[in-house]
Amino acid sequence: MMHKNSRRFFLSKAAIASAMAPFVSLTSFGNGYETAIDKYAKPSAPSDLKITEIKCCYIKGSLFVKVFTNQDIYGCGEGVDAVMGTYYLVKNFEMRLKGRNPLDVNRLFEDIRKGGFFQGAQAGMYVAVLSAIETALWDIAGKALGVPVYRLLGGKFRDKIRVYCDTALYQRNLPLPKDFAEAAKKSKSMGFNAIKFDLDQANDPNKYDRYNWTASPGELQRMYDQIAAAREAVGPNVDILVDMHGRYDAFTGHAVAKRMEPLNLLWLEEPTPAENVQAYKSIKDSSGTPIAAGENQYLAYGFREMLEIGAVDIIMPDLQKAGGLGEGQRIANLANLYYTPFAPHMVASFLGCMASCHVCASVPNFLILEWQSYFHTDPMFKEIVIYEGEWVKDSFITLSEKPGIGVDMNVEAMKKYAVKGVPFFE
């Protein structure tokens, strides 16, 4: 049954009116069409769209938002990491956005961002929540105009988005080199041509103490042996990426980058904390191993110095917390001025993943997007979203051609996974 306020309902009635026109007498020409218009309820034009409310829920490390409008259209968005405890920030943004036209995505983004100058709008929770809402606004815009989000971002450079598989071979379990080899071979057998491993290990028995993040000779040897085993297992034609999660000092970053040179990594990720990009530059300049960073930077401003001084070879903003899709494209375009590849970090659900894909398709300097192995092992991620089609094949995601992002939320399924004690889509 068609909703009486849907576009399909209105267009079908308009078609009936057109078909009957020849039978209307000349003396009453046009009256039939006018009657048809007056008789049936219609949705208002996109220019009359208004935001009515914003609802949210929290699942694991993600904030999921739905932005509703006065028409039969809503948008979905996701924020990650810096989102816990932000329910009232979501409701604060709702108060500021109610009654506004959601198609003014960039304007609304700027109004919220500049309006929070003294409230933390430079980074962290403020920007992560804004990222989720901004993404939902793009979803509404695509649905209202009947086009996928990438069209609103200027079109696409590619139909498929290359991804690398994060193996989730967590170091807390003290994996051996043979475990790295097996995980690498498994990912390759699944069709992935790029694989990522973690190197930081807080409980490494070779570590001198818990707070000293200068790696000992034993730790350095352990790191090399693990990645060497993975390289031997998959051969030279599969990209290997290595993440240190910003847990080491510059001295160790230099040492690891040098040791990894023979293993031909696609990149070494965040060898030192994100606060001092000069440290990245010193490591990059001392080694032939490419350095990547950016998942802990916010907004395009957070990437300016990094790019200006040539601190990294590859930038990897997380679009679910760095500012959203429009800001993600601005970051990519800024990097393109410095001939720097754009490879977004991604630890969201498939909703966030496909939202990122629209940005990856819209910029020329896209390199690769993160893909999580939990999509294959945790049934929750299949249950909480609605998407028709294959998620990934042979290390590529086919870009959605549906209006908006192309992925919806399964709110009923989300209930059993939602964080307890927090309002659920209220």
Task: Name the packing angle between helices 217-234 and 250-259 (round to 10°).
Answer: 40
Q: Percent of the chain beyond pLDDT 70?
A: 90
Rg, Å, the chain Cα set = 25
pLDDT band for 32, please (50, 70, 90 cuts).
very low
pLDDT value at residue 35: 43
Helices (H), 117-216: 124-145, 149-152, 177-189
CATH superfamily of 49-147: Enolase-like, N-terminal domain (3.30.390.10)
Domain with CATH 3.30.390.10 in the chain: 49-147
Contact 326/134 with Cβ under 8 angstroms?
A: yes
167 vs 181: CA distance, rounded Å: 11
333 vs 153: CA distance, rounded Å: 12
Comparing 252 with 209, which gets the higher pLDDT? 252
301 vs 232: CA distance, rounded Å: 40
pLDDT value at residue 44: 54
CATH superfamily of 152-404: Enolase-like C-terminal domain (3.20.20.120)
| Alpha-carbon distance values, 352 to 62, 347, 372 (Å) | 10, 8, 12
Contact 299/327 with Cβ under 8 angstroms?
A: yes
pTM: 0.89
Residue (of 82, 154, 80, 77) closest to 109 by Cα position: 77
pLDDT at 1 over 70: no
312 vs 235: CA distance, rounded Å: 26
Average predicted confidence (pLDDT) for the chain: 91
Domain with CATH 3.20.20.120 in the chain: 152-404
pLDDT band for 195, please (50, 70, 90 cuts).
very high
- Using DSSP bridges, classify how beta strands 239-243 and 194-198 pair: parallel, antiparallel or unpaired: parallel
pLDDT at 318 over 60: yes
SS3 of residue 205 by DSSP: coil
pLDDT at 403 over 80: yes
